[in-house]
């Protein structure tokens, strides 16, 4: 094993971009890169550590001894240390031993740009360069049509470690998931999956939201090529892939990004802006150019190298506000004296601009829980530039309403109708996510009141209402078959429940709702426009009934929806309709195959009786705790 040979992948232009915070393919330069130099095979290492006095690569090849392989600092004040180590081959474990000028501190760190890592609790990085041959050319060429804002978007949110496990309660591998999970998602007619973070993380109870390996797919389920296979297989089956991405905070684990070179390199040095009290983690320094380049490079990496179709950006609200989860005196206002984090806002806008500029047919989705305006509006008109935003208010109000016994619901109809006062201010995605079924919140099924029949009828009604409300949809795994217990990340979903008819009924309902949604343009063509929705009557709180229209580009595609939020069937219920002719029931959450009572409307002829502001009307039966759709 020879000493470090001077070598660089950086041009002067690379360095100027890096210093300016404009180098968005840093993963091609920093990190470990197997190659051949002067006829000798080995690995080039490069790491950013500006306060370092010295940086050594330690690993399997030198018995983890500091000083054996010291990197050379660049002359250009970039703070980058680099060099080629002959004989270091793919599969080799390594870290950086950094001796800092700052109080003579020494740190031993995993590589921030490592492409692969040891399985936790081990923490070393691994040199990696296997190639993967993608077979998703057809999907990539046509995905714009599947990912556009006027396409159906029904997302299955998945935690890979607990969707399904083997008989010994061990994780399924990426390869196993590429068979079982893909087949299931396709059978259930979801258009997309969203993976909770797949980047390397040390602590299982964080569910992946405390990252240490931003460029490294977690080794819990196998090698990086396994994740590529999983995404590739989903694509070949016509299913888009959204990855959760966490630029809001990172853990203080000794091998991670925190205090990286003996200084606050990645995190903001002011604890009021650099520490997250809720998650006891560190917050990136969004104003530091090199950190901005790191984060944007990381977002583009997953779109580029892993063919992701979108990024769902976690905890955006915590980035936007300097006083997020802080009391008076624990935060400092910005230069204008208010609470907006101007540097984070600027980063988010630049991130979204770069994503949409560089990749066709992708979406960024904000998990943002406040009323911050124009989150999903273009940067060019002052927005943050996201494609969509989670509709947290709708989720909260809807679940609060459904928790109530039906006898009290007439006093709370506003909980349901309020969403329509702001539904088109953003491009909203309706989320029933993992956060709603943990920490004592109960499963969706057990939020529902009543006896067993009513619980399941309420859940079917909830899903029907969700799919016919404007916006796109997201369901956390398990909800689609009425999981009864809260989600537990340490175990598989309760697949054994599918021996019971009611659970099979919920699963069949979701399968059919997904197919119905994709088949009917009125539910997606104008899903973010007020032109796609029209109330018929939102005021019948006495009967707890809502009636409304969903509209597409063509009038003949319009759908009439009626919801009954009580267990009392509404028979001979008159509804004003916009057109003459006949109305046919095309969907009911009360169908027998779903576990319902099986009530059914025959073909309804329009009567010339004015109602609800329309010149004609029909009489229908709305089943107990049911939703019916007419065409």
Residue 289: its H or E element = helix 289-305
**Residue 286 CB neighbour total at 10 angstroms:** 20
Q: Are 461 and 589 in contact (CB under 8 A)?
A: yes
Q: Number of C-alpha atoms within 13 angstroms, CB side, residue 240?
A: 26
Question: Which 8-state DSSP code applies to residue 487?
Answer: P
Is 314 an annotated catalytic residue?
Answer: yes
Q: Are 344 and 350 in contact (CB under 8 A)?
A: no
Catalytic residue among 14, 232, 314, 343: 314
> How would you write 300-355 as a 3-class SS string?
HHHHHHCCCCEEEECCHHHHHECCCCCCCCCCCCCCCCCCECHHHHHHHHHHHHHH
- Given its phi and psi angles, is residue 199 left (phi above 0), alpha (psi -120 to 50 degrees) or beta? beta
Using omega within 30 degrees of 0 as the cis cutoff, is the peptide bond preceding 121 cis?
yes
Q: What does the block give as tokens for 613?
A: 């502001």
Residue 12: its H or E element = helix 12-20
- CA 174, 483, 364: angle at the middle one, nearest 5? 55
Question: Which 8-state DSSP code applies to residue 444?
Answer: H
Cβ neighbours for 23, distance < 8 A, ≥ 6 positions apart: 14, 17, 29, 293, 297
Sign for the pseudo-dihedral over CA of 279, 158, 363, 430: negative
Q: Are 361 and 146 in contact (CB under 8 A)?
A: yes
Q: Are 208 and 158 in contact (CB under 8 A)?
A: no
Q: Are 199 and 274 in contact (CB under 8 A)?
A: no
Q: Are 571 and 600 in contact (CB under 8 A)?
A: no
The structure tokens 């909203």 sit at: 428
The structure tokens 């205090």 sit at: 259
Q: What does the block give as tokens for 543?
A: 């009967």
Q: Are 79 and 71 in contact (CB under 8 A)?
A: no
CA distances from 86 to 41, 124, 302, 607 (A): 6, 20, 29, 85
Rounded CA-CA distance 162/169 in Å is: 9
Is 118 an annotated catalytic residue?
Answer: no
The structure tokens 């998703």 sit at: 136
Strand 388-390 relative to strand 545-550: parallel, antiparallel, unpaired?
Answer: unpaired
Catalytic residue among 68, 367, 368, 397: 367
SS3 label, residue 38: coil
417 phi, psi to nearest 5 deg? -80, -20
Q: Are 275 and 282 in contact (CB under 8 A)?
A: yes
**Residue 76 CB neighbour total at 10 angstroms:** 13
Q: What does the block give as tokens for 79?
A: 């703070």
- What are the b/e assignments for 546-575, b being 16+ CB within 10 Å? bbbbbbbeeeeebbbbbbbbbbebbeebeb
List residues with catalytic annotation: 314, 367
């Amino acid at each position: 094993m020879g000493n470090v040979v001077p070598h660089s992948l950086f041009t002067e232009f690379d360095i100027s971009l890096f210093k300016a915070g404009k180098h968005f393919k840093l993963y091609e330069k920093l990190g470990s890169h197997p190659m051949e130099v002067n006829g000798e095979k080995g690995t080039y290492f490069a790491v950013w550590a500006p306060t370092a006095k010295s940086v050594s690569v330690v690993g399997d090849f030198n018995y983890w001894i500091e000083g054996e392989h010291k990197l050379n600092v660049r002359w250009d004040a970039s703070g980058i240390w680099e060099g080629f180590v002959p004989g270091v081959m793919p599969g080799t474990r390594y870290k950086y031993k950094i001796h800092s000028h700052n109080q003579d501190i020494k740190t031993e760190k995993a590589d921030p740009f490592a492409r692969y890592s040891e399985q936790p609790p081990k923490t070393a990085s691994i040199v990696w360069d296997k190639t993967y041959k993608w077979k998703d050319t057809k999907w990539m060429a046509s995905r714009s049509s599947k990912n556009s804002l006027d396409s159906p978007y029904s997302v299955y949110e998945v935690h890979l470690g607990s969707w399904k496990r083997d008989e010994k309660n061990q994780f399924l591998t990426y390869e196993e998931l590429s068979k079982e999970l893909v087949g299931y998602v396709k059978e259930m007619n979801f258009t997309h999956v969203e993976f909770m973070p797949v980047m390397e993380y040390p602590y299982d109870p964080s569910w992946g939201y405390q990252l240490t390996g931003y460029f490294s797919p977690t080794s819990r389920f196998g090698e990086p090529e396994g994740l590529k296979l999983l995404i590739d297989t989903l694509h070949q089956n016509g299913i888009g892939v959204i990855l959760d991405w966490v630029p809001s905070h990172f853990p203080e684990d000794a091998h991670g990004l925190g205090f990286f070179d003996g200084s606050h390199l990645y995190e903001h040095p002011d604890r009021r802006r650099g520490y997250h009290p809720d998650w006891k983690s560190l917050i990136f320094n969004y104003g530091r150019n090199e950190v901005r380049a790191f984060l944007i490079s990381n977002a583009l990496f997953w779109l580029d190298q892993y063919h992701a179709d979108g990024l769902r950006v976690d905890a955006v609200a915590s980035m936007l506000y300097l006083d997020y989860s802080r009391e008076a005196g624990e935060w400092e206002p910005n230069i204008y004296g208010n609470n907006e984090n101007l540097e984070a806002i600027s980063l988010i806008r630049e991130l979204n601009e770069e994503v949409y500029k560089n990749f066709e047919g992708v979406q960024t989705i904000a998990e943002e829980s406040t009323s911050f305006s124009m989150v999903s509006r273009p940067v060019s008109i002052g927005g943050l530039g996201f494609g969509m935003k989670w509709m947290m208010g709708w989720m909260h109000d809807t679940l609060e309403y459904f928790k109530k016994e039906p006898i009290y619901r007439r006093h709370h109809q506003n909980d349901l109708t309020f969403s329509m006062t702001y539904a088109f201010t953003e491009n909203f995605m309706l989320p029933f996510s993992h956060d709603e079924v943990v920490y004592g919140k109960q499963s969706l099924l057990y939020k529902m009141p009543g006896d067993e029949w009513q619980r399941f009828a309420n859940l079917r009604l909830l899903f029907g209402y969700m799919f016919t409300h404007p916006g796109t949809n997201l369901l956390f795994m398990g909800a689609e078959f009425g999981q009864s217990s809260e989600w537990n990340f340490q175990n598989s979903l309760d697949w054994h429940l599918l021996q019971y008819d009611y659970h099979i009924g919920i699963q069949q309902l979701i399968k059919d709702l997904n197919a119905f949604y994709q088949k009917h343009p009125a539910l997606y063509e104008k899903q973010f426009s007020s032109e796609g929705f029209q109330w018929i009557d939102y005021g019948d709180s006495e009967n707890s009934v809502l009636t409304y229209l969903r509209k597409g580009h063509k009038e003949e595609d319009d759908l009439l929806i009626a919801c009954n939020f009580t267990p009392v069937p509404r028979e001979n219920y008159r509804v004003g309709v916009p057109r003459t002719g006949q109305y046919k029931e095309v969907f009911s959450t009360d169908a027998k195959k779903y576990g319902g009572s099986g009530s059914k409307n025959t073909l309804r002829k329009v009567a010339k009786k004015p109602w609800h502001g329309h010149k004609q009307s029909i009489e229908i039966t709305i089943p107990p705790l049911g939703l019916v759709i007419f065409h």
